[in-house]
Amino acid sequence: MLDLERFIEDCYAALDEKTPERAAQEVVARAVEDPAAVMKVIGEPQKAGVNTLHRSDRLTVLNLVWGPEMHLMPHNHNMWASIGIYTGAEQNTFWRRTPDGGLQQLGAKEMGEKEAVWLGETAIHSVTNPLTKLTGALHVYGGDFFAPGRSEWDDETLKEGPYDSEKLVRLFEESNTRLEELKAAGAL
């Protein structure tokens, strides 16, 4: 069974490794090997949202729940991240900056239940839940995820701007409205 306190301690221990993002990925991968154990500790996802399990200057641990078919525009973290899916699926599209200030698509990776990946501190990605159900993932960041200084890119123009936390909240609210509509229509 997942012990959340021990999980966070193991994530802190990963910070001292030569490649902390990969060490953290191993910690996350071990945790999501047993999705039922994760959900027993943090609960089965009921609605989309960003749920903070731990936050400090050195480490942030989130239980991130994507709503049905939810999409998050390209963005960066300016720190490494390790992500593990404990229910559902997540489609990541990876980007790189272009000389004119835009973005160029590099590739994509779809993750399913029990999978974990790491992202380097310069990574830029967009995320889509390809399913019509909730997707839950443990996200571990090598710093304060909520600190200022991050960027996001417009989905259509790929123009860079400051990360907009209020926009993020609206996206999750809209996703939860869609979730309720799907439930009311009997689609879930």
4-184 placed in CATH 2.40.50.140: no
pLDDT band at 187 (very low <50, low <70, confident <90, very high): confident
pLDDT band at 1 (very low <50, low <70, confident <90, very high): confident
pLDDT for 83 = 96
- Domain map of the chain by residue range? 4-184
170 C-beta neighbours (distance < 10 Å), count: 11
